[in-house]
Structures are given as structure tokens and as C-alpha cells.
């Protein structure tokens, strides 16, 4: 193992494959004498000659067309498009020809080419040198789309891509070229295309990312861990085909999903990952999936502060995960054993209050007001956290001769003048509190509040009762 930058790992993979297989050719704009605009191919032309490392004109359509023709004639072309922004000019050959060759010929012909390109923002390239194009091409059956985040993966996946029998779009994020260093095995190193990898374990949230956003996600996960939120970070590595099994396995462990990408939000890769999880693991989800992405703007701004604001970073990711970790669906209760759901551990507080005989409407109004002031009493305990109800809906239990109203967020029990002076109500599933009004005698009555003490402590219960008393006696 040596420490290499991601750029050095790419260069090493190219050099070793040029040495190993005489069918491998490298060509593109400035890849020869200059060594590429980012110097990824530096030194290769002087070592392998101008017949195998070839400078081309500035013509992306021709570069892709040459790659298709050479691949179909038995060679292994590795073509470079300087910036991903320019790749759309090559889409006719890449999408219309290379990706369809195997399908159109029923497997008689293949098209083993690699198209390398630098994508992503953050290096002050403005709107024409900073695009993220993965969602366009991850839509194309027959094409593989690879986006490594670490040097070892860059080498292993590029080597595998060159040897793959089908076309591969190999995406290299510009910021990772020199900023990201890591151990890389010496000699031949292969990684399997189509396999994601957990790079940080956790049990509360799954963060799916790739490229530079993978590193921002790892930084966010470290910050969250200091707050007690353990996020699992999954490096997708291959965007087409997605590693369905790895994504689902991680989400089933954590119950929550946050997908992060630098590309714009609408129709981005995050939507596909979220849809996959919702279709195949909906019952295991404890909260709706969340996407963190760039807003739907026309391109990376020229202004440096605006560029920084547009691209997701560790702070935005951490904020999204905090919100996600605090959310749960009612379905989240299934994570706890049924026996625990059946028994709600309750504590009770009692307070005497002045009440007239006709008091029910006043009590209900006071309870609604108090729930607004003390929202923990209008909530639900789940094994993933306390979920506050967005509105107050009262369940009424007026005794055996009146039908009980259900489906609410707080229960009021009042059995009327013939009932006992004092009795403790039961907290219903999906609620954290219930209030019982005892029989009114000489203008006085006892209010008894039962609370789920996992969600409401004694101090909060006392303040809630005090608020009700104040409102009733005002």
C-alpha cells in the first residue's frame, strides 16, 4: 500500500493497463503532450508513444465516435472528455450507439469503451465547467456509470471499466483529484463494478452519496456522532447499475434514508434511490426519505459565495440528518415488541379546581389551549423518538351510555355528576396524556392527569394542570 491522490491512482490505472494490454488506447483533448487539463495522463505519451496516447481536436462528437468504432474493431479505447459539461455533444454516439450495440445485435457485438470525464463544482469553473451530469446518463440502459470517491476505488474501478465488455462512463470529481489521498494497493487492483460499500457504520440513518459528496457526508456523520446521532454512510461507487441489495440492507438496519448528491434535485439520482427504497422497504422505514441536493438552478454561479451556497456541504447534510433522525412515522412503533406497545407506563398528577356544574365546554377549550402551550402532552411516544402532533384533536369519553370518540391526540374523561370524585384515566396508544374530570361537588372538582412518563415528566404534567386550572378559574 502507498498513499496516492485520486489523480495519481487514475494515472496509475491507465499506465498499468497500457502496459498489460496492447489493445488499450488513450485519446482526447490535450491528453498527450500536456498530460490532460488536470494532468491525469501526464507522462503517458512519452512512455507509450503517439500511436497509443493521442491528442485529438476539440470535437467531443468525434472523440466518442472514434471510441465506438475502435471498440467494435476489437480495441479497448479510453477516451477523455475534458469537462463533463462538454459530454452532451458526444451523447449521440454514447447513448444512441455504444449503449445499444449489445441489445441491437442480440449480443453478437459489444462496445468495450471507457469515457472518462471530470465533473462537479467547487473549483470556481463557473456554469460551463462545473456540471454534474450523472443523472442524464444513469438513465441509459446498456451503459455503466461509475463515480469513485477514494483513490483505491478510482484505480480498481477504472481498471475494471477498461476490461469490461460494455461501455462505461467514468466520472472523476475535480475536487477529489488532489484533495483526497488514501492507500492504494501496489500492482493489479480490481474493484467490482456495481457494488456499493459501507464506509462508516451506524444504526440511526443511512446516508447514500458518491464522489465529493461522499466526503462531505463522512464529515457530517462525524459531527453528528458527537451529538449522539450515528449515521451509516454508504458509498454508491457505481450509479448504473445501482447496488440495490446494499442500499436496502443498510436502510433496513437504520430505518431512515438521506441521499446526497451535487446534481440538481429534480429528477436527480436521489429520487431513484428514494423510490427504490420506498418500493422495496416501505414497511421498514421509520420516516420519509430525505434528499440533499443542489437547487434547480441553471448552472454553478460565477460568484464564489453563490457557488458555495448552491453546492451541498457537511453543514447542510448534518442539518438534514438531524431533522430526519428526529422524525418518525406511526409505522415506527412496529420497531418495538408488541408487548411494549400494549402497556403504556403512566404517571399521574391531581389538582383541585373550581368548576360550575356546566363545565365540559370550558374544560375542552382549556385543554386545547394547554396542549398548545405544552406540546409534549399532545404527542406520541415511539421507539424512535417523541412525535409531536401538528394539531389538537380531542377524544371524549363521557361514560358507558355515550359513544366514545376515537382517533384523537388527547383524551378527556368526564362521567358527569354521578361519577366518583377522583379517578385516573388511561393513556391511549398514540397519545401521551389523558385528563379525567371528577364529579363536581359544591363548585369544586378534582382534575387527574395521566401521562406517558417516557414523553412527559412530572414537572411538565404539573405545569399543564396548572395552566388548565388557571384558564378554568379565570
Helix axes 314-325, 211-225, angle to 10 degrees: 60
Q: What is the 3-state secondary structure (H, E, C) of 209-266?
A: ECHHHHHHHHHHHHHHHCCCCCEEEEECCEEECCCHHHHHHHHHHHCCEEEEEEEECC
Q: Determine if residue 126 is left, alpha or beta; phi over 0 gives left, psi from -120 to 50 gives alpha, anything else beta.
A: left
All residues at 6 or more sequence positions from 48 whose CB lies less than 8 Å from its CB, including other chains:
18, 26
All residues at 6 or more sequence positions from 12 whose CB lies less than 8 Å from its CB, including other chains:
4, 155, 184
Query: Considering 88, 93, 129, 359, which one is annotated as catalytic?
Result: 129
- CB of 117 closer than 8 Å to CB of 172: yes
Closest CA to 283 of 241, 330, 231, 315: 330
Verify whether residue 129 is a known catalytic residue: yes
Closest CA to 120 of 155, 151, 160, 149: 149
Helix axes 458-473, 360-373, angle to 10 degrees: 140
Residues serving a catalytic function are: 129
Amino acid at each position: 500500500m502507498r498513499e496516492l491522490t485520486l489523480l495519481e491512482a487514475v494515472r496509475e490505472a491507465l499506465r498499468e493497463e497500457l502496459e498489460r494490454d496492447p489493445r488499450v488506447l488513450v485519446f482526447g483533448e490535450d491528453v498527450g503532450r500536456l498530460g490532460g487539463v488536470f494532468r491525469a495522463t501526464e507522462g503517458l505519451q512519452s512512455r507509450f508513444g503517439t500511436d497509443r496516447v493521442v491528442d485529438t481536436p476539440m470535437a467531443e462528437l468525434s472523440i466518442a465516435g472514434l471510441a465506438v468504432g475502435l471498440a467494435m474493431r476489437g480495441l479497448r479505447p479510453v477516451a477523455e472528455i475534458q469537462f463533463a459539461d462538454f459530454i452532451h455533444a458526444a451523447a449521440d454516439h454514447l447513448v444512441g450507439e455504444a449503449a445499444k450495440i449489445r441489445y441491437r445485435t442480440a449480443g453478437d457485438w459489444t462496445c468495450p469503451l471507457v469515457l472518462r470525464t471530470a465533473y462537479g463544482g467547487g473549483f470556481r469553473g463557473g456554469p460551463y465547467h462545473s456540471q454534474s451530469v450523472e443523472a442524464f446518463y444513469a438513465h441509459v440502459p446498456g451503459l455503466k456509470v461509475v463515480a469513485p470517491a477514494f483513490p483505491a476505488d478510482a484505480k480498481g474501478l477504472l481498471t475494471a471499466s477498461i476490461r469490461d465488455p460494455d461501455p462505461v462512463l467514468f466520472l472523476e470529481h475535480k475536487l477529489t483529484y488532489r484533495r483526497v489521498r488514501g492507500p492504494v494497493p501496489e500492482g493489479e487492483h480490481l474493484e467490482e463494478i456495481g457494488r456499493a460499500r459501507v464506509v462508516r457504520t451506524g444504526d440511526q440513518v443511512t446516508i447514500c452519496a458518491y464522489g465529493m459528496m461522499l466526503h462531505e457526508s463522512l464529515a457530517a456523520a462525524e459531527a453528528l456522532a458527537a451529538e449522539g446521532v450515528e449515521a451509516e454512510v454508504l458509498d454508491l461507487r457505481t450509479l448504473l447499475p445501482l447496488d440495490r441489495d446494499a442500499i436496502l440492507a443498510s436502510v433496513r438496519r437504520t430505518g431512515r434514508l438521506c441521499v446526497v448528491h451535487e446534481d440538481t434535485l429534480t429528477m436527480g439520482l436521489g429520487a431513484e434511490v428514494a423510490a427504490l427504497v420506498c418500493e422495496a422497504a416501505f414497511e421498514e422505514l421509520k420516516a420519509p426519505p430525505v434528499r440533499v441536493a443542489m437547487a434547480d438552478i441553471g448552472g454553478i454561479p460565477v460568484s464564489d459565495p453563490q457557488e458555495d451556497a448552491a453546492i451541498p456541504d457537511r453543514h447542510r447534510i448534518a442539518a438534514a440528518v438531524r431533522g430526519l433522525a428526529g422524525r418518525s412515522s406511526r409505522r415506527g412503533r412496529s420497531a418495538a415488541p408488541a408487548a411494549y406497545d400494549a402497556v403504556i407506563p403512566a404517571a399521574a398528577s391531581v389538582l383541585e379546581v373550581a368548576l360550575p356544574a356546566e363545565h365540559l365546554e370550558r374544560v375542552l377549550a382549556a385543554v386545547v389551549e394547554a396542549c398548545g402551550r405544552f406540546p409534549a402532552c399532545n404527542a406520541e411516544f415511539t421507539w424512535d423518538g417523541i412525535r409531536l402532533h401538528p394539531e389538537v384533536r380531542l377524544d371524549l369519553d363521557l361514560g358507558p351510555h355515550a359513544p366514545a370518540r376515537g382517533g384523537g391526540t388527547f383524551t378527556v374523561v368526564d362521567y358527569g355528576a354521578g361519577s366518583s370524585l377522583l379517578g385516573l384515566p388511561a393513556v391511549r396508544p398514540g397519545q401521551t396524556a389523558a385528563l379525567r374530570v371528577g364529579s363536581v361537588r359544591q363548585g369544586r372538582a378534582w382534575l387527574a392527569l395521566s401521562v406517558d412518563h417516557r414523553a412527559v415528566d412530572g414537572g411538565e404534567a404539573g405545569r399543564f394542570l396548572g395552566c388548565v386550572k388557571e384558564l378554568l378559574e379565570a
